[in-house]
Amino acid sequence: MEAYILLDKALFSSYTYHALPPPSSQDDPSDPPIFEVSLDSLLETLQIFSLSDPNASKRPGEYDAFAAHRLNRHAGMNAFSNQAFAMSGVCTFSYEGEGSPLSIHMSESGVTTTCDLTTYEVEHADDIPFNRDALALKTIMRSAYLLDAINELSSLNPDSITITASPTSRTANLSISASGALGSANIDFQADVVSETPILETFKCEEKVSASFKFGLIKAAQRAMASAAKVSLRLDQEGVLSLQFLVETEINSGGTEGVAFVDFRVVPLVEGEDGVAGDDTNEDD
């Protein structure tokens, strides 16, 4: 499984990028910088002003007052909360170039913090192959519908989940199923072109296709499902799954809107893994 977050420069109040000049006028432009940082360190840094601290009451002195202010102000907030955009805090990222740290400067209510995160060369640059030009299935729906389906299947505590699509089925064009020790469940979606608000806003599938995935990997995308307005669910002809979520955002107090995309790619299970049965994609409905 791999995940990508795509942030357009319009989401930032200020964005400046200086491309490195090529070694000579005959050379192609330099590639954009690519580097790695510790995800745990990055998250700890970004949550300095919002992390709940269970030990705050045990520390004497002025820390108590600041901690109480911090916890009360940010209670119930997260990165996708609408309240977060009303905060007066400012966060600035800067990166000077290869070998330099990623500098994060944060300021809120007169308190400033600057953190320098060590950057590393990218060790695993190979992406999970997903062929956009050879799709077996593409459908777009409201993300809430997919979230409800995953939550429903979670009660079974399944090991795997199966996505099946058919262009001609009379009962369902898209089916999501799972089974566990407590039983099995099947959730069907019908592409209704007559309705003004169809469940599947877009549905393209030339022949029946089915693929299974580890349920835990799909469930890991629940945070994005809950935050997104829509999701594009795609399967290529090798069975690789792409879940691309469109997240609507407000970037300033003036109500300027923007969008971000969160894309998950998941490799399918093969026959024999986690009880996956043989391929029946050629069976008639």
pLDDT classification of 150: cutoffs 50, 70, 90: very high
Q: How far is it, in rounded angstroms, from Cα 264 to Cα 164?
A: 18
* 39-53, 134-148, 197-211, 223-237, range with the lowest pLDDT: 39-53
* Residue of 56, 69, 60 whose CA lies nearest to 110: 69
What is the model's pLDDT at position 275? 54
* 65-69, 119-123, 161-165, 275-279, range with the lowest pLDDT: 65-69
Q: What is the pLDDT of residues 24-78, one digit of tens each?
A: 777 777 788 899 999 999 999 988 866 544 444 444 444 454 444 444 444 444 4
- Most confident listed range (98-112, 203-217, 270-284): 203-217
Structure tokens, 35: 């580097």
* CB atoms near residue 234 (< 10 Å): 21
153 touches 146 (CB < 8 A): no
Mean pLDDT over 91-108 rounds to 92
Which of 68 and 144 is assigned the larger pLDDT?
144
- In the DSSP assignment, the letter for residue 283 is S
* CB atoms near residue 228 (< 10 Å): 25
- In the DSSP assignment, the letter for residue 19 is P
Q: How far is it, in rounded angstroms, from Cα 158 to Cα 153?
A: 8
* Residue of 100, 104, 107 whose CA lies nearest to 42: 104
What is the model's pLDDT at position 251? 59
> Does residue 185 have a pLDDT over 90?
yes
What is the model's pLDDT at position 281? 42
> Does residue 142 have a pLDDT over 60?
yes
What is the model's pLDDT at position 90? 82
Which of 197 and 223 is assigned the larger pLDDT?
223
pLDDT classification of 274: cutoffs 50, 70, 90: low
What is the model's pLDDT at position 23? 72
> Does residue 242 have a pLDDT over 50?
yes
Instruction: Give the distance from CA 44 to its chain's centroid.
Output: 19
Q: What is the 3-state secondary structure (H, E, C) of 120-182?
A: ECCCCCCCCCCCCCCEEEEEEEEHHHHHHHHHHHHCCCCCEEEEEECCCCCCCCEEEEEEECC
What is the model's pLDDT at position 222? 94
Which of 27 and 223 is assigned the larger pLDDT?
223
Residue that has been written with the tokens 């995800």 in this structure:
39
DSSP element (H, E) containing 66: helix 63-73
Mean pLDDT over 101-125 rounds to 88
Which of 18 and 276 is assigned the larger pLDDT?
18
Q: How far is it, in rounded angstroms, from Cα 269 to Cα 107?
A: 46
Three-class DSSP category at 215: helix
What is the model's pLDDT at position 67? 47
pLDDT classification of 193: cutoffs 50, 70, 90: low
- Mind listing the domains of the chain with CATH numbers? 35-117 (no CATH), 135-275 (3.70.10.10)
What is the model's pLDDT at position 226? 95
What is the model's pLDDT at position 112? 87
Which of 90 and 211 is assigned the larger pLDDT?
211
Percent of the chain predicted with pLDDT > 90: 48
Question: Alpha-carbon dihedral of residues 197, 201, 207, 212, nearest 10 degrees?
Answer: -110
What is the model's pLDDT at position 32? 86
What is the model's pLDDT at position 125? 64
